[in-house]
């Protein structure tokens, strides 16, 4: 296993910054989504709503579909195509609603995630319209009550670790190794066996300085932990692969 080189940042500060900035952002919606859900609240409130529904242990179709819609409201516009009909085909969201085979496959992913099983990522990816980034979001939320919760690995997390894409990151580090190292990092930084605290801290750090797709600066003004952001930028922008 290749050891992850975590940036030397103030993790407690950036975790608090997640609560102050990311958590206060409005949830996402578009004309296709409003048919299914309109959530009037910020990211933190949406997070709490998802947690509450999952902890209810209700996996009936209406509740599961509501959780899915909340996850996409929470996740932002990168998931907008999940609700789009392309070339006359029904949208991935409609498939979950109308096709038992697709919904049952999603439930298989849910059951794996509830055990903290990383195979849930692959199972969610088998569903049309769910890519690697969103598969980890589904797995993250459904694994919350497991003994080994999973984490979200998206372009921001990849970028914060010096990789231009998720695929580049996972060519070097297997997903299970990433979760293991994030758990150890959280023990070191927060004295808690919760890998998601490290994930949120890195997300907030990346969100402050870099564009979502790692293609350039979002904010180049020197501020907290800029000494780590600057060499990271050189690595990202010189290795766009």
Q: Residues 71-102: pLDDT tens digits?
A: 999 999 889 999 999 888 899 999 999 999 99
Q: C-alpha 82: how far from its chain's center?
A: 15
Q: Quick one: which H or E segment has residue 105? A: helix 100-114
CA–CA gap between residue 88 and residue 114 (Å, rounded): 35
Q: What is the pLDDT of residue 148?
A: 87
**Pure H helices in 115-165:** 119-125, 132-142, 155-160
Of 181, 182, 154, the C-alpha closest to 169 is: 154
Q: Between residues 2 and 24, which one has the greater pLDDT?
A: 24
Q: What is the pLDDT of residue 87?
A: 85
User: Region 130-149: what's the mean pLDDT?
Assistant: 92
pTM of the model: 0.91
Of 142, 104, 92, 93, the C-alpha closest to 121 is: 142
Q: What is the pLDDT of residue 1?
A: 64
Read off the pLDDT band of 189 (50, 70, 90). very high
Q: Where are the domains of the chain?
A: 11-238
In the numeric block, which tokens belong to residue 5? 């080189």
In the numeric block, which tokens belong to residue 170? 């996972």
Per the prediction, the chain carries an average pLDDT of 93
3-class state of residue 26 by DSSP: strand
Residue corresponding to tokens 């999940």: 82
Q: What is the pLDDT of residue 239?
A: 60
3-class state of residue 42 by DSSP: strand
In the numeric block, which tokens belong to residue 185? 């990092």
Residue 38 has pLDDT above 70, yes or no: yes
């Amino acid at each position: 296993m290749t050891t992850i080189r975590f940036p030397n940042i103030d993790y407690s500060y950036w975790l608090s910054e997640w609560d102050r900035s990311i958590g206060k952002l409005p949830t996402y919606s578009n004309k296709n989504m409003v048919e299914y859900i309109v959530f009037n609240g910020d990211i933190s409130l949406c997070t709490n709503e998802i947690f509450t529904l999952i902890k209810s242990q209700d996996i009936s179709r209406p509740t599961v579909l509501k959780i899915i819609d909340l996850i996409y409201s929470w996740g932002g516009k990168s998931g907008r195509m999940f609700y789009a009909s392309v070339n006359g085909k029904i949208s991935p969201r409609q498939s979950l609603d109308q096709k038992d085979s697709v919904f049952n496959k999603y439930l298989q992913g849910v059951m794996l995630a509830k055990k903290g099983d990383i195979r849930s990522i692959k199972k969610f990816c088998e569903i049309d319209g769910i890519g690697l980034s969103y598969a980890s979001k589904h797995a993250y939320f459904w694994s919350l009550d497991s003994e080994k919760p999973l984490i979200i690995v998206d372009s921001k997390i990849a970028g914060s670790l010096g990789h231009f894409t998720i695929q580049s990151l996972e060519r070097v580090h297997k997903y299970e190794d990433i979760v293991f190292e994030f758990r150890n990092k959280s023990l070191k930084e927060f004295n808690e066996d919760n890998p998601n605290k490290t994930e949120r801290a890195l997300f907030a750090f990346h969100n402050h300085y870099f564009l979502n797709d790692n293609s350039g600066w979002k904010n180049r003004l020197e501020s907290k932990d800029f000494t780590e952001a600057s060499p990271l930028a050189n690595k990202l922008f010189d290795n766009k692969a």
